[in-house]
Amino acid sequence: RVASLSVSAMASLDAAQLAGATLNALSTTQLGGLTAAQLTNVTAAQIASLTTPQLQALGDDVSGLPAGAVGALLNLGNLTIAQLGALMASQLQEVQADRIFVLSAAQITALNTDISGLPAASLLGLSVTQVDALSPAQITAMGVKVAALSPVAMASLDASQFGALSPVAIHALTGAQVAALDAAQLGALTARQADGLSASQIRAMGSHVVALGVDAIASLNSLQVAGLTPAQMVQLGTKASAISPLALLPNLTSDKVDDMTPRQVLLLGDYISLLPVAALSGLTAQQVDAMLPSQVAALGVNISGLSAAALASLDKAQIAAITPAGMATMSPAQVQSLGSGLAYLSNLALAFISPNAVGSLPPGVLSSEQESFLTNKEASVSAEFTAGVGLSGSASLSTPIGTVSFNASAHAGMQASAFAQGTIEITGNSITMKGSAGASFTASVGVDGSIQLGPLGVHSAVELRAIAMVLASAECNFGPGGVKIAASVCARVAVELEAKVNLTFGPLQVESKAKVYAEAFAEAAGRFQVDDHHLAAKAGAQAGIGVGAEAGESISMGGVTVTATAGASIGYQVGVDVGGAIGYEDGKISVGQSFDLKFLIGIHIDINLDIDIAELTDFAGDVGEFLTTDVANYANVAVDFLTGDFADNAMTAINAVEDTAKAAAKAVTDAANAAAKAVTDAANAAVNAARDAANAAGNWIRSI
């Protein structure tokens, strides 16, 4: 019946009415009158029944044919060039490989970028002639499906076609395809495309790796460099020098480190900390001499990987940068290699030298002040256990505006320690006494990452911690410079999850952090300090069980740092803690205020402001002029206050105390023997009381 309809009548039929029609009974004129919209319900059986003239009579726009109907065509080549060009990617999804290999080069080209719709299995059937006919745009549109091309077909791509492969498509190539690439193709690989290479693909290049361009080699990251075999490194020859130091670091051995130039070591920056400890032993004295003090500090505990000869070449600035943790890991022989340079160590770093190392030092190496510091002023005992694992990696990406560096790491570990220490220091008419004791356990797991582009840097970190601790400390200082009295006791069990993000852009530094926690705690603390440069007071006591959250922000720029933290908690808790401080010393002003209040619901606020006048005055022209007038005047007022009336009153009080002390001196001498026994008895009583209190606190915590 449909065959008897006129062309105008055929135009009135919808797609559903044509679905059951006998299309092969229609004339070419009738078929030519059908629109793309009318073809949307044509079945595979209907399209397969048409002759070539009838198929071509459907007209140029066959975009309405269903994918099943297109896939049913026994010979896709029976379509005209215009019809092939009208097909969309979605219509080619069911075309089998045997329907593709019959297409001519011109017909392949006619499919345009819609060739991406062909199944991967069908692309495998493309011949070298057909692949040669693909335009760069078609290659790009195929995306990861290029991995379906045969190795022979892949090797036939010309420079323009190969350059059209995206990094993602490069990453999808099989080892056989990569091995088939010739020197011209590998030489045309851009740095952007090289970013997509995997370690296994680089190994698959074999000796052809030498064909890679310098830019491509320079873009390789550490994971890609790990794919290079020793033979390939040799084959690269002078091109190997183009490999980024950051990419080499995690893969270097001591013999490879020995081959680096001093400038290459300098260019590593703080990332030198990524070098394996075993590789550090390959650093020579000349290489170490090129390191900045900040690089020495960045090594941390890994500094123990340096040889004695390398350590002996450190200058005073480098030695002063060695961290306490780094000193603690050095062997006696390594400490001895520092020789007279030990004089430049900070007292804190000096305190971490092992007793064996100190005992092995020749006479006269340490100054009299250092020997006094180590032997006469401090008594301590401690035990510590630390274990952990870590993983880090880095990568870089070249962009039109510069190179972006990526770094990431993850860690898990635990630490347990117990300690007790006491110090008495008498200098002139000043006396300082300090004592502390405690035990702690911490287990943590965390990840962090950073991105650097020119002066812009972003670092983020997340860490989960479990904490248990008991701590008591006290400090007392009396002298003409002022008075400081502080004491605290704390017991806490907690689980914390903390996240923070750091942003740096030139002189601007911003840190945002947030923390959630659950804890059981009991603490009390008090502090009073007044001297020529500081005025501070703090007092409070808290106890309870609760959960809470807090957030903090820190902004630093041009010598001004503002830090604010606020938090809230809820639970069975009660307590209050209030503190404040103001100070001015060495051109630096500091102001701080903290407040804690807990009664079932708790709030916490902590605000600090630090101003470095010297940095402010150099910060910028107009801004510097403003800061050197208003802020400097304010600083002078603060100095006048602290060193004027305030200091006069303080000296008056001190003189009165001194007169009273002289009058009482004889009485103190007469009572000394009696006092000694009384002090001994009181100390024993205090120890017993502290032990009873600790047992009571432990029983209370266990009952919770």
Give the number of other CB atoms < 10 A from CB of residue 699: 9
Q: Does residue 202 contact residue 179 with C-beta atoms inside 8 Å?
A: no
CA 274 from centre of chain: 13
In angstroms, how far apart are the furthest CA atoms of the chain?
A: 138
Burial class, 263, CB count within 10 angstroms (exposed 0-12 / middle 13-18 / buried 19+) = exposed
* DSSP code, position 362: P
As a whole number, mean pLDDT of residues 321-326 equals 90
Closest to 257 (Cα-Cα) out of 293, 329, 306, 221 = 306
Enter the tokens of residue 630: 């208003």
Of 447, 443, 444, nearest to 392 (Cα)?
Answer: 447
pLDDT digits (tens, 9 = 90+) for 125-152: 889 999 999 999 999 999 999 999 999 9
In the structure, what pLDDT confidence band is assigned to residue 641 with cuts at 50, 70 and 90? very low
CB-CB contact of 365 with 332 (8 Å) = no
The pLDDT, as a whole number, for residue 634 is: 42
Q: Which of the pair, 29 or 693, is modelled with greater confidence?
A: 29
pTM of the model: 0.42
Give one DSSP letter per residue of 244-291, joined into a string: -HHHHGGG--HHHHTTS-HHHHHHTGGGGGGS-HHHHTT--HHHHHT-
The C-alpha atoms of residue 26 and residue 670 are separated, in whole angstroms, by 133
Asked if residue 549 lies in contact with residue 590, where contact means CB atoms within 8 angstroms, the answer is no
The percentage of residues in the chain with a pLDDT greater than 70, rounded to a whole number, is: 77
> What pLDDT shows up at residue 429?
47
Q: Which amino acid is at 303?
A: I
Counting Cβ atoms within 10 Å, is residue 79 exposed (0-12), middle (13-18) or buried (19+)? Answer: buried
DSSP state of 2: G
Weakest mean pLDDT among 343-352, 374-383, 433-442, 568-577 = 374-383
Between 703 and 68, the higher pLDDT residue? 68
Which three-class secondary structure string do you get for 458-510? EEEEEEEEEEEEEEEEEEEEEECCEEEEEEEEEEEEEEEEEEEEEEEECCEEE
Q: Of 102, 100, 155, which is closest to residue 132 (Cα–Cα)?
A: 155
Mean pLDDT, the chain, whole residue set? 79
User: Does 690 score more than 50 pLDDT?
Assistant: no
For residue 584, what pLDDT is reported? 83
Residue 695's pLDDT is what?
60
What pLDDT is recorded for position 617?
66
The answer to whether 202 and 228 have CB atoms below 8 angstroms apart is yes
Residue-range domain boundaries for the chain: 249-376, 418-670
Taking Cα atoms as reference points, which of 115, 83, 82, 37 lies closest to residue 73?
A: 83
Return the half-sphere exposure (C-beta side, CA atoms, 13 A cut-off) of residue 289: 8
In order, the DSSP letters of 283-344 are --HHHHHT--HHHHHHHGGGGGGS-HHHHHT--HHHHHT--HHHHHT--HHHHHHTGGGGGG
pLDDT tens digits, 62-102: 988 999 999 888 788 889 999 999 999 999 999 988 888 88
* pLDDT the model gives residue 656: 46
Q: Which of 76-90, 114-128, 475-489 has the lowest mean pLDDT?
A: 475-489
Is residue 430 pLDDT above 60, yes or no?
no
